Amino acid sequence: MSLAARLAADETVFTAWSSLPEMLTVEALAQTAFDAVTLDMQHGGHSDDSVLRCLLPVAAAGKPGLVRVPVGRFDMASRALDFGAEGVIAPMINSAADAAAFAAAMKFPPLGERSWGPAFGASRRGVSDMAQVLAGDNARTLALAMIETRRAYAALDEIVAVEGIDGVFVGPSDFSIAWSDGREVNASLEAMMEALADIAARTRAAGKRAGIYLVDVSLAGRLAAMGYRLFAVGGEGRLMAAGAATLIEQARGSFR
* Residues annotated as part of the active site: 43
Nearest CA among 186, 190, 159, 160 for reference residue 174: 186
- Say how far apart CA 124 and CA 160 lie, in whole Å: 30
Alpha helices in 23-95 (DSSP H): 23-30, 48-60, 74-83
Using omega within 30 degrees of 0 as the cis cutoff, is the peptide bond preceding 235 cis? yes
Q: How far is CA 61 from CA 28, 29, 31, 57, 97, in A?
A: 10, 10, 7, 6, 36
Q: How far is CA 84 from CA 9, 64, 222, 246, in A?
A: 22, 9, 32, 34
The residue type of 253 is G
